[in-house]
A and B are shown apart, each in its own frame.
Chain A
Amino acid sequence: MSFLPQNNQNKVACVLVLDGSSSMNINIDMKKSFSRIDALNLGVIAFKDDLLRDSVAKKSVDIAIIKVSDVKPELILDWVSAEQFSPPKIGASGSTPLASALINAVEMCEKRKRYYLREGLDYYRPWVIIISDGEPTDSDSDWNSAVNIMQSAINSKKIFSIGVAIDKCSTKKIQQVSSNKVVELSSHQFSEFFVWLSGSINATLNSTDGTEQFIATNLIS
């Protein structure tokens, strides 16, 4: 309606840092060709669908996707609102250079916050979602500097980070860059996870104290 303000929603930026390394090609369904990356793609679609179900969330949540593969990470989706979000098909190849992807994610969140400030929009703390099925392939020095940047951003409340480890892979390194305990998932649970994520972001949008809210789930112990 023309008499209602069109851009008054509180915003929340959400960066998905998704593992697109070759290990994500592992088939997880013997009966048909269905790999981890296929499950992840379906999960991202479920994320979009669930966000669109909520009239506030679809206008409030801004999404960006960084794919972790090959030598350096790739920004496969720059900031869009959930309403305009069209999930790209993510392929899998190469190694897992997670360190530079995380540094990019923190920089993107800061840039987005500056944009919100410029536009006079209220916003919540950005969410960084890290999903990987294995240890990063970065050198120790690269990884350590990424950990420092992430921990500093988490501790100074610049971002909120959720680490997700797939199919019982090692959680040690992902834990170093997560705000809370790492979520351990099977590849079959991606859709469930993304619906939970959408619900939790939505709950945060409706919180009156601005802190992250999490809906009840069996995924997180």
Chain B
Amino acid sequence: MENNIIVAASVPGYSHIKNNIPNQDSYSYVEDKESGITVIVVSDGAGSSKNSKLGSGLCCDFLTGELLKATKQTISSKNPRMLNTKIIESIGKHLEYIASLPDGISSYHHTLSAVIFSPYGGKIIQIGDSPIIHIKKHNCSNNTFDSTILTDTNIYNEEKSEYANQTVFLTTHSDWFKYLRMYSFSSEDTSAILVMSDGAGSIFIDKPKNKIYSPAFMELLKRFREYEYLDLALKEFLSLKEIDSITGDDKTLVALFPRKWINKEIKYSAGYLNDNSGVGNFSEELTYKVEGLIEGNSNIIEDVKEYYLNRTIFNSSHIDEKLDNKAEDELLYKRDIKETNNNFVFRLCLCVLFFLQCIMCFLFYIKSARLSEDLNALNKKQEIILVNSELRELNSIFSRVNIYSESNNLCCQQLQMLKNK
């Protein structure tokens, strides 16, 4: 399967740096090379919510894998309608987990913008104001993008409320599904997909016209051509000092280009994870989360660790590679302990069950023995009654027979007497 080119970066906004607030944006992506399915998730944590960084991080890491799984299941089931249900189920599972964490769900406010890109078609999934730009195919000719015709694009974003930044987060309403926006698009008719936080949206979207801001996008492509490492090109672009006068917010962009449009050897810097397992750039995000995102709140960290322990099937290669040794050892140790404990408890339960079963059998045996004795006694009694009655009947028969025989004898005697006469 031909791979896509994915470039991603996230940089903190200058106001976050100034106020010592962490980058609350998160992103993750996964590319399944076998099926050709790519899933990208970007989430923007609310600045006013205490644990929003954790919320956005969990959202990205969990939903990337879940949406990939859902897409694969849908494709193998050949029932396209199944995908929407699976998507909603996946988001529901994520929210259920978030709701189980301490401090209440409102302290984890975050948006969700996700793209499923597959040879069978594409899907856009959104709640909140993290925009997605879909650039259509005819904008891309001769392996380049033509800015003059970079107009046939779709911008997917939340409908504006009266005042800026008043967004509905994934975590705002219990009936979140009412705010969920899902759109399908043709993957054949795609030359690029840009998934971003609203900070990056201030650079790539011409807000007054609600269109892609072509000069910014063309400059980014120019840098992609010129730079050796694509991720560094993007990171440097998003970190430009001049952008600080447009937005002080965190800026995150994940750009997907179908491979056929770019004739360039793709290189990523050493820190950029794009390994063969197909797991995207979680690196700093995950280490940060596990290592103490919320200082002094050990419960949450324990919960997060627990969460990742239960999810190692999905992103084990990623965790193994990116966590530092200490965290990794700790996680593996805890997992071993947990597995051992689980085995012991399981075996103990089996023993108890077996013992209970034995007791039950024994009691049943005793009871049935007694029952059979009673039954025998009853049978015998019935037999006696029966024999007695039969005997009585026989006696009566015999007695009748005797009478008959006597009368028969008498008749015979009388006949003999008559004959003699």
Contact = CB atoms under 8 A, between A and B. Distances in A.
A8 interface: yes
A123 B47 CA distance: 18
Interface string B214-229: 0110110000000000
A119 B207 CA distance: 9
A124 B44 contact: no
Given A3-B218, A121-B207, A208-B47, A56 B166 contact: no
Contacts of B47: 206-209
A4 B216 contact: yes
Contact of A4 (B166, B208, B246): B246
B164 A3 contact: no
A9 B207 CA distance: 9
Nearest to B206: A5
B248 interface: yes
A194 to B, nearest CB: 20
B402 interface: no
A8 B248 contact: no
B213 A5 contact: yes
A10 B165 contact: yes
Contact of A55 (B109, B167, B203, B244): B244
Given A121-B208, A124-B163, A59 B245 contact: yes
A205 B248 CA distance: 8
B5 interface: no
A157 B219 CA distance: 40
Contacts of B61: none
A125 interface: yes
B359 interface: no
B310 to A, nearest CB: 30
B2 to A, nearest CB: 31
Contacts of A211: 48
Nearest to B165: A210
B245 A55 contact: yes
Interface in B14-59: 14-16, 19, 24, 44-48
B231 interface: no
Contacts of B161: 210
A106 to B, nearest CB: 16
Interface residues of A, number: 30
Contact of B207 (A4, A120, A209): A120
A55 B243 CA distance: 9
A107 interface: no
Give the dominant DSSP class at A's interface.
Answer: loop
A51 to B, nearest CB: 13
Contacts of B24: 208
A139 interface: no
Nearest to B219: A3
A125 B166 CA distance: 11
Contacts of A210: 161, 163-167
Nearest to B250: A208
A182 to B, nearest CB: 24
A1 interface: yes
B216 A209 contact: no
Given A3-B218, A4-B216, A4-B243, A120 B208 contact: yes
A218 interface: no
Given A55-B14, A59-B245, A208 B44 contact: yes
Contacts of A58: 245
A7 interface: yes
B295 interface: no
Interface in A65-124: 119-124
Nearest to A211: B48
A56 B244 contact: yes
Contacts of A121: 207-208
A150 B206 CA distance: 35
A8 B48 contact: no
Interface centre among B13, B163, B216 (most CB of A within 10 A): B163
B202 interface: yes
A210 B215 CA distance: 29
B413 interface: no
Nearest to B48: A209
Contacts of A122: 160, 163-165, 207
B215 A209 contact: no
Interface centre among B202, B203, B240 (most CB of A within 10 A): B202
Contacts of B166: 209-210
Nearest to B21: A206
Contacts of A1: 240, 242
B249 interface: yes
A2 interface: yes
A124 B208 contact: no
Given A4-B243, A55-B244, A208-B249, A124 B164 contact: yes
A167 B209 CA distance: 48
A124 B249 CA distance: 15
Interface in A114-167: 119-125
B249 A206 contact: yes
B333 to A, nearest CB: 38
B360 to A, nearest CB: 61
A55 B164 CA distance: 18
Interface of A: 1-5, 7-11, 54-56, 58-59, 119-125, 202, 205-211
29 contacts: A3-B215, A3-B216, A4-B216, A4-B246, A5-B202, A5-B206, A5-B207, A5-B216, A5-B246, A7-B207, A8-B206, A8-B213, A8-B247, A11-B164, A56-B15, A56-B246, A56-B247, A56-B248, A122-B163, A122-B164, A123-B164, A124-B164, A206-B13, A208-B44, A208-B48, A209-B166, A209-B167, A210-B164, A210-B165
Given A4-B243, A8-B207, A208-B46, 14 more contacts: A3-B218, A4-B203, A7-B208, A54-B248, A120-B208, A205-B248, A206-B13, A206-B19, A207-B47, A208-B24, A208-B44, A208-B47, A209-B48, A209-B166
